[in-house]
A and B are shown apart, each in its own frame.
Chain A
Amino acid sequence: MANKKRKIVPIGPYHPLQEEPEFFKLVVEGENVVDLEIEIGYNHRGIEKLSESKHWDQVTFLVERICGICSTSHPFAYVLAVEDLLGIEPSERGSYIRMIVAELERIHSHLLWLGLAGHFIGYNTVWMWAWKAREPVLDLFELISGNRNSYAMMKIGGARRDIKEEDYSTIRKTIKDVYKDLRLFQKAVEDDPIIHKRTKGIGVLSKEDVISFGAEGPTARASGVDIDVRRDDPYACYDKVDWSVITCEEGDVYAKVVVRILEMFESCRIIEQSLDKMPRGEIAVEVRDIPPGEGIGRVEAPRGECFHYVRSDGTNRPVRHKVRAPSFMNVATNLVSVPGYTISDAAITLAAVDPCYCCTERSVTFDRKGNKLFNGEDLIKLSQRKTEILREQLRKQYGK
């Protein structure tokens, strides 16, 4: 068709449900997205430079606030990097405590994402139920550490706080309730034809693109790339408990949903086994000075591989601290998975990589001439409208 006008659709930087400011520029031709530009940096706080002016222990609290959702993955990777530098093993009880906290965080993060994804497709009930199911997990965090987010449980050498034995039964009971909620979500996703129509075949990311962009985490595993830092480069006590890595082959949004839901089941299994196997003893090994050297720590955060590199020259501050959050590699995959689909699918595809906004930004849609067409809120409304249309079609088809 000649004369198809090219329009640009912005999403962001300030949209209520995309909590963090990002800037995606979608170029649209009619109904189809043809190009995407990503601009980030609205959350840039200069943490790598700040680390060089803080004491080794203070850096643990600084990196916790890189991202609020995966707030234990960054300190975990940092303390692993320092322990790699020192060449020591943390205490066994401390490692189990770290593993329990990390897996609880995976459950809370995936439930959070499930709620947001539900809202983007127009299932506000899913949003409310997923976040309601999340509350008992946050209560567990408050029981263990004193805070619902930013739990400050990591310390060089082990864990900062102990999990008391009288709390084990509360943790077990909550995990059993989480199992029930997860089964509900699993059935809902398997049975609902509208969710299938909205997510199957949408935003497909091929295996070659995953390898070329260096994506990891559920984004990669949903496209058939079998990588997981917990199994490949074991840390904490992941090699002492029985669990499996979940992969799917299709690479579309549906595969990403399935991978995340099944991963939560595995997390529940890991937590139950840890409570059985955790030995008594010291929660942390004593560490005095940090000699010159360098170390690397890697952790499987809910979104992918969290990578920290530290270098020391013997003083009480790091000389260099490099942080690479998982979304840094994953968000760039949107450059290939969003173009080629319609604009009403853009919202769910952009959200499917689970961008940790602290690393990424929002989106905006413009006209080629420069006129702003839609903003982020409109894109979500477009996506929700598509679900309504589909529902009407199915109702007419099946006469319900």
Chain B
Amino acid sequence: MGLKEKIITKSLWVYHVSAGSCNNCDIEILDCLTPRFDIERFGMQLVGSVRHADVLLVTGAMNKKSLKRFKRVYEQAPKPCFVVAVGTCPCSQHMFRPSYSMEAPLDEIIPVDVYIPGCPPKPEAIIAGIVKLIEKVTKK
């Protein structure tokens, strides 16, 4: 990992993508912004456009309809872009794996840096996952 990645970790801009999730993890990610957890004091910000994103937080088991749009979103993200799979759904597709409308776990589609399992993972777990990402990037 080069100098660019190390500088990014000082103030991560996070973009959230839902690839067919039940909304549980999405609410817990938004909860991180609220006064009790408040990730903004670490310099992290939830941005509205993928073109400003340093980190993609992906939730949801990928289903066929979301896949095309998700790939387009991923291509628009400026590289280097770190990918964090939040929740059990992108990690292994959870209990929806046998369904006819499911595609594949996230790491068979794009490279994933950090996995945060849980259904849903608590905001503390999500923050711990982002910290692990920062450690992974700065140590290499």
A residues with a Cβ closer than 8 A to B are: 13-17, 19-21, 41-47, 49-50, 53, 61-62, 65-69, 71, 112, 128, 131-132, 135, 148-150, 356-358, 377
Contacts and interface: CB of A to CB of B under 8 A. Distances in A.
27 contacts: A14-B17, A14-B18, A16-B48, A19-B18, A19-B23, A19-B30, A20-B21, A20-B26, A21-B20, A21-B69, A43-B21, A43-B22, A44-B63, A45-B96, A45-B101, A47-B99, A53-B98, A65-B22, A67-B22, A69-B24, A131-B31, A132-B36, A148-B120, A148-B122, A150-B24, A150-B119, A357-B18
Given A62-B95, A69-B27, A128-B35, A46 B66 contact: no
B42 to A, nearest CB: 17
B16 A16 contact: yes
Contacts of B48: 15-16, 377
A132 B95 contact: no
B130 interface: no
Contacts of A62: 95
Contacts of B102: 45-46
Main secondary structure of the interface of A (DSSP, over half): loop
Contacts of A49: 99-100
Contacts of B122: 148
Contact of B23 (A42, A132, A358): A358
B81 interface: no
B29 to A, nearest CB: 8
B28 interface: yes
Nearest to A357: B23
A68 B22 contact: yes
Most central of A44, A135, A150 by chain B CB within 10 Å: A44
B116 interface: no
A377 B50 CA distance: 11
Given A19-B23, A356-B23, A42 B99 contact: no
Contacts of B27: 19, 68-69, 112, 149
B20 A43 contact: yes
Interface residues of B, number: 42
Contacts of A21: 18-20, 66, 69
A46 B16 contact: no
Nearest to A142: B122
B120 A68 contact: yes
Contacts of A41: 65
Nearest to B88: A65
B34 A131 contact: yes
A150 B36 contact: no
A53 to B, nearest CB: 7
A135 B34 contact: yes
Nearest to B94: A65
A132 B35 contact: yes
Contacts of B49: 377
B65 A135 contact: no
Interface string B98-120: 11111000000000000000011
Contacts of A20: 18, 21, 23, 26
Contacts of A112: 27
B84 interface: no
Smallest CB-CB A-B distances: 9 pairs: A68-B24, A19-B26, A46-B99, A68-B23, A377-B48, A131-B34, A45-B96, A65-B22, A46-B101
A14 B69 CA distance: 9
A41 to B, nearest CB: 5
Given A45-B101, A46-B96, A50-B96, A13 B24 contact: no
A132 B63 contact: no
A237 B85 CA distance: 41
B22 A44 contact: no
A62 B28 CA distance: 20
Contact of A149 (B28, B30, B35, B95): B28
Most central of B22, B46, B65 by chain A CB within 10 Å: B22
B55 to A, nearest CB: 13
A184 B20 CA distance: 36
